[in-house]
A and B are shown apart, each in its own frame.
Chain A
């Protein structure tokens, strides 16, 4: 993970944050460590776009600042329901 600024908010914390709020799949202790760099970039970019800050795909100072703001615990990105009755 590319980190362009030093901060108490570590890259691991950022990963947890992105996972907690729906930008990355839920962390799984068995499969941990296999998320690709591209997926992480995409997740950071998605968060940046949602937060209305510069979309760089990189964990910069502004992004980390936003990640430290107190917030609602509901996920920003919601997986669509599997119960969709699209097969009429």
Chain B
């Protein structure tokens, strides 16, 4: 399957048939369109509600030739229909020159084509799997139509599965008053203050907040998140203070007076251990930690101070530490998280972040200026 790159941030979607086909009875079209939407709602928490008037998410029209969107239909055969991805509005247009039919081997099956188009309306691109509904070619009426596994994986990559979402609902209802994810904007967009952010040995960037984690993409958050931290890093806890991956490829997590060590997502021995045991000279309850690849040393931050830790030295923290964070121009005290990313060191505090320039030892002067909104620039909100 292929994802276009956009999706709806709400799960309760509405639609309206603004213009019906000439050759079919309206009630029958309503039924087929509802059935086509249900193809996608069976496997997700998405719901589709028909409206007769007013604003809707997905508008459906049967049109001939040029119909106002600059992409004219071409008469019988050729292009049957087209639809717009969520970022472009999600509307679906069907060529009314086609001979649309219902439950018939003659003509073009409305239900199958509509189900395909609604896949685009939800964010799926064309699949190169021949048996997939999202393959671009019409393959004739199939009385035993079933969604292909490729389509199911695609839609669930965008909106999650019914079971996953049910689990998540229960967790939220049990432990917090946080609004349900997917109902409105992601939790990261509602409150972009984070606990920690780090790069894994495989090169992925993860964000931790409360009990959950997200994997970042190049321009936001990957679909299918958040996930429970404990579902991936067995034995770890939520509300992590800091994390980093050292040059040995091992990832360290810090919380209170304890730390954990993992190789990828597998715990690397008997953890948690005391910070005082494994990181002599570093205080408990740190704010953030980061490895600066410029010198390979680990920097720990707490309140107004930072410590430089060099595992190869005895003692690993020199007596000249801690030093004041204010020595680094523009970096605030009491940071939440720190990360090295694409050659820069980033500091996160509340809902904003700062890009630190290692060459000038100051926060970068840029347009737009730092601090910038973490939600917009990091999470694609």
A associates with B: yes
Q: Interface residues, chain A, CB within 8 Å of chain B?
A: 21, 49-52, 66, 68-74, 76, 78, 80-81, 83-86, 88
Residues on B with C-beta less than 8 A from A50 are: 126, 128
- 22 A-B residue pairings within 8 Å (CB atoms): A21-B136, A51-B137, A52-B130, A69-B137, A69-B138, A70-B98, A70-B108, A70-B137, A71-B136, A72-B80, A72-B82, A72-B126, A72-B138, A73-B73, A73-B82, A74-B136, A78-B125, A80-B5, A84-B219, A85-B220, A88-B355, A88-B377
Partner of B71, one of A71, A73, A78: A73
Q: Which 5 A-B pairs have the closest CB atoms?
A: A73-B82, A73-B79, A84-B219, A70-B138, A85-B219
A78 touching B108, Cβ below 8 Å: no
Give the A-B pair count, Cβ closer than 8 A: 74
Bin chain B's interface residue count: 35 or more
Q: Report the nearest A residue to B124, measured CB to CB.
A: A74
Docked Cα-Cα span, A73 to B346, in Å, equals: 44
Residues on B with C-beta less than 8 A from A52 are: 128, 130
Residues on B with C-beta less than 8 A from A88 are: 341-342, 346, 355, 377-378
Residues on A with C-beta less than 8 A from B130 are: 52
Interface string of B347-381 (1 = CB under 8 A from A): 00000000100000000000000000000111010
Docked Cα-Cα span, A24 to B79, in Å, equals: 18
B137 touching A66, Cβ below 8 Å: yes
B117 touching A72, Cβ below 8 Å: yes
Docked Cα-Cα span, A14 to B80, in Å, equals: 18
Residues on A with C-beta less than 8 A from B290 are: none
Residues on B with C-beta less than 8 A from A81 are: 5, 87
Interface contacts beyond A70-B138, A74-B82, A78-B4: sample of 14 additional A-B pairs, CB < 8 Å, sorted by A: A50-B126, A51-B128, A68-B77, A69-B137, A72-B83, A72-B116, A72-B120, A73-B81, A74-B126, A78-B125, A80-B5, A85-B376, A85-B380, A88-B346
Residues on B with C-beta less than 8 A from A68 are: 77
Check B53 for interface membership: any CB of A closer than 8 A. Answer: no
Q: Report the nearest B residue to A49, measured CB to CB.
A: B128
Docked Cα-Cα span, A4 to B315, in Å, equals: 76
Looking at chain A's contact residues, is the secondary structure mostly helix, strand, loop, or mixed? loop
Interface string of B309-344 (1 = CB under 8 A from A): 000000000000000000000000000000001100
Residues on A with C-beta less than 8 A from B80 are: 70-73
Docked Cα-Cα span, A52 to B150, in Å, equals: 15
Q: Report the nearest A residue to B79, measured CB to CB.
A: A73
Residues on A with C-beta less than 8 A from B295 are: none
Docked Cα-Cα span, A66 to B136, in Å, equals: 11
Tell me, rounded to whole Å, the shortest Cβ–Cβ distance linking A12 to chain B.
15
Docked Cα-Cα span, A66 to B139, in Å, equals: 11
Q: Report the nearest B residue to A69, measured CB to CB.
A: B137
Check B249 for interface membership: any CB of A closer than 8 A. Answer: no
Given contacts A52-B130, A70-B78, A81-B5, A76 and B220 within 8 Å (CB-CB): no
Residues on B with C-beta less than 8 A from A71 are: 78-80, 136-138
Docked Cα-Cα span, A85 to B380, in Å, equals: 8
B377 touching A85, Cβ below 8 Å: yes
Residues on B with C-beta less than 8 A from A70 are: 77-80, 98, 108, 137-138
Residues on B with C-beta less than 8 A from A66 are: 137
Docked Cα-Cα span, A21 to B117, in Å, equals: 15
Tell me, rounded to whole Å, the shortest Cβ–Cβ distance linking A32 to chain B.
19
Docked Cα-Cα span, A42 to B346, in Å, equals: 42
